[in-house]
A and B are shown apart, each in its own frame.
Chain A
Amino acid sequence: MSGGSNSHSCHGSQVVQAPPGARKIVLAGNPNVGKSLFFNAFTGLYVDVSNFPGTTVTISSGVMGDDVVIDTPGVYGVSSFNEEEMVARDIIAEADIVVNVVDAVHLERDLFLTQQLIDMALPLVVALNMVDEAEARGVSVDAVALAERLGVPVVPTIAVERKGFDRVRATLDEAVPGISDPVLQDRLLSLLDRVGTKAEALLVLEGDPYVAERHGVEPLGMRDEIYMDRRRRVNDIVARVVSQRDRSLDLRTRLGHALLRPLTGIPVLLVVLWLMYEVIGVLVAQTIVGFTEGVVMQGYVEPALRAAAAAVVGTGVIFELIAGEFGVVTLTITYVLGLLLPLVVGFYLMLSVLEDSGYLPRIAALTDRLMTAIGLNGRAIIPIILGFGCITMATITTRILGNERERKIATALMAFAIPCSAQLGVIVALLAAAGGLGITIAYATIMFLVFGLIGLALSRYLPGSSTDLLIDLPPLRLPRPMNVLTKTYHKTVMFLREVVLYFAAGALLLATLQLTGALEAAQVALAPLTETWLNLPRETATAFIMGFVRRDFGAAGLYDLGLGGAATLVSLVTITLFVPCIASVLVIMKERGRAFTVFTWVGSVVLAFLVGGIVARVLVLAGVV
């Protein structure tokens, strides 16, 4: 989700240290207003940019001149409602200068945070972003009047076109605490001797239990009063500086509504899924992979590598380790570059388009009722969809969910039942080869049922209750090709960096097992499980052993076995439900704890073979096999 110098924050503790003399410049703003674009421009480092709230869940920091720039998760206000807010809260409270990015179209919402930052007495510069989109929607904002009312510099910007960045940078020295409410400021002064800063005093006054505890004082329950007063001040400012020509619903808004209503929304969702199948399953998995894996790798690269290896080391054990059936070099290169790379690029391209269009929060609203049945609300669909990209990253994104119970359910669902892009790519390729759309639908139905059952069980047995959906919908936007390509590029590089090492280690393990005869012994030992229980050839044991390294590695192991339709279905259901990859296990351990990690890991092995066996039995009973 981010490159460059990136520090992960645990449980809201402050982790970004600035060198002496450097100012901490903190980017703050509502979700989805373009903070990350400012961060990219200021520091030259890359962080993800999407069109849905919650893209930035970890803290990124970088250097601009002598100063340190810190990007924060988007929040609608500073307090402790969820983990994103707690992370943002501590970094904002310690800022030397806050660059508050606001969305010119939604000033009524965004200025609430601005006014809160002003009430916290933090030196502020406001970047009035998306002035072009506001203009296109008939909203015009008087930036000069806004600066006068707020008492801080206001710089109009168009971040996606990189306009206004220099002016924001040049204005940093003019950052000042703005115009707050005098009565409120008096109250803050009276707290200062007990709570070090006005920023934290305000949070105590607003009843933040964590900040109060830090200073050994009781939280004061004045939030409602302060919030309503602040809301009045903001509405007053908006009424004076914003003018809107036309409030009738434009086409884009109407289209957005159609995506929310099941009658129109579900068919659109199905068409989107079908399009993804056509692009990834048919175009990439068959045509492109057929060329890269079949022609380039098998036809040219592997023979060349084998010849080169033979010329250097002869034909002994070393040759087998390097370039044999499971040779570290040949297997890694063929699988990673020939098979997975095209699939992962295709998948991330599609996912990036979805992310940037603003469609994801609408899917959240569309699936809310279904998600409520499994103890989640619609918002959980966002980490789950991102899980189809990478489970490891998506597990971190579960921080956007309302409480720990929801985060546990979502994490377990992904660890058990959601295949990541690399795995899904191989799966779709195998399904398409084994029987096309019919078997794909059978696979999807089984996975959907298992997903639902796991959700129902967890929702029933995990104590507590889940929160209600409460999200704002970003406008629909046409994705910018440059952003889609950049994001795909960065995600693909990250994938390659991570996967090569695991694949090489997995190949080394397999080659060693094969050379020592342990692989054949394992295939024989596992035969009751593979042959008797799953009705699969015993060679599939190799794929499951590979699955312990990574599920996509395991799925790739099935690629060369030439299985029939029924065997493909059974083996794919089993490998999908198999253990999460090592990287995800580490993140699950960090986010959810050891006991929960053991539960998902052991549970996934049991569940994979249980469900796989049931599918195999049903296929026999139905007379398919």
Chain B
Amino acid sequence: MTLLQAKRNRPVRILEIPDDRARAQCVRFGIGEGTVVDSAEALASGPVLVRHRNQEICLGRGLACRILVEEDPSDTRGRSGDGDATAEAARGRFRGWRRRGHSR
């Protein structure tokens, strides 16, 4: 799938950034091909917001739909595919709680 299609606020692994300059610029920002970013969110105002560590990057829609990504294999949320929003939200809350409880 493309970065534009990535599920909201889930970690994704960047597979391919076809544009030369964008690829170089992303590597400078800390995101290369193979990097698992913390989350991606397609904003209704156009760009896709990518969070990686303390870094927040906005990529234009045209660019985001050329970047290939996959779900992060280590991310266990949302893999059941049942689409139950309540369960989804509960899992999200649980993860948030767990994160805060455990310092890395």
Task: Report which A residues bind B (CB closer than 8 A).
Answer: 76-77, 79, 81, 105-106, 108-109, 112-113, 137, 139, 223-224, 227-228, 231, 234-235, 244-248, 253, 256-257, 260-263, 265, 361, 364-370, 372, 377-378, 468-473
Contacts and interface: CB of A to CB of B under 8 A. Distances in A.
Prevailing SS type, chain B contact patch: mixed
Nearest to A366: B45
Interface string B26-64: 111110110000100001111101001111111111110
Contacts of A105: 54
Given A231-B30, A468-B60, A469-B60, A109 B55 contact: yes
A45 B100 CA distance: 45
Contacts of B46: 365, 368-370, 372, 378, 469
Given A231-B30, A368-B47, 10 more contacts: A106-B54, A109-B30, A137-B54, A224-B23, A248-B100, A265-B45, A366-B45, A378-B47, A468-B60, A468-B62
A76 to B, nearest CB: 4
A366 B19 CA distance: 23
Instruction: Kindly list the 7 A-B residue pairs having the minimum CB-CB distance in the complex, ordered from nearest.
Output: A369-B46, A468-B60, A469-B60, A368-B46, A468-B63, A76-B28, A108-B30
B59 to A, nearest CB: 6
A369 B57 CA distance: 16
B62 A109 contact: no
B83 interface: no
B1 interface: no
Contacts of B49: 257, 260, 365
B29 A469 contact: no
A253 B45 CA distance: 18
B58 A473 contact: yes
A378 B58 contact: yes
Given A260-B43, A473-B56, A468 B32 contact: no
A263 B28 contact: no
Interface residues of B, number: 37
B103 interface: yes
A223 B26 CA distance: 13
Interface string B1-25: 0000000000000000001011111
A234 B60 CA distance: 26
A15 B62 CA distance: 38
Contacts of B61: 368-369, 372, 468
Contacts of B53: 108, 244, 247
A203 to B, nearest CB: 13
Contacts of A246: 100, 103
A261 B44 contact: yes
Contacts of B23: 224
Nearest to B34: A228
Given A368-B47, A369-B46, A470 B100 contact: no
A450 B1 CA distance: 39
Contact of A261 (B38, B43, B52, B58): B43
A277 B103 CA distance: 46
B28 A368 contact: no
B21 A365 contact: no
Interface centre among B19, B53, B54, B100 (most CB of A within 10 A): B54
A227 B27 contact: yes
B99 interface: yes
Contacts of B24: 77, 79, 81, 223-224, 227
Contacts of A77: 24, 28
Given A76-B28, A139-B54, A368 B45 contact: yes
B57 A261 contact: no
Given A224-B23, A246-B103, A263 B54 contact: no
Contacts of A372: 46, 60-62
Given A112-B30, A248-B100, A471 B45 contact: no
Given A76-B25, A231-B30, A365-B45, A470 B55 contact: no
Nearest to B50: A472
A492 to B, nearest CB: 33
Contacts of A257: 49
B79 interface: no
Contacts of B44: 261-263
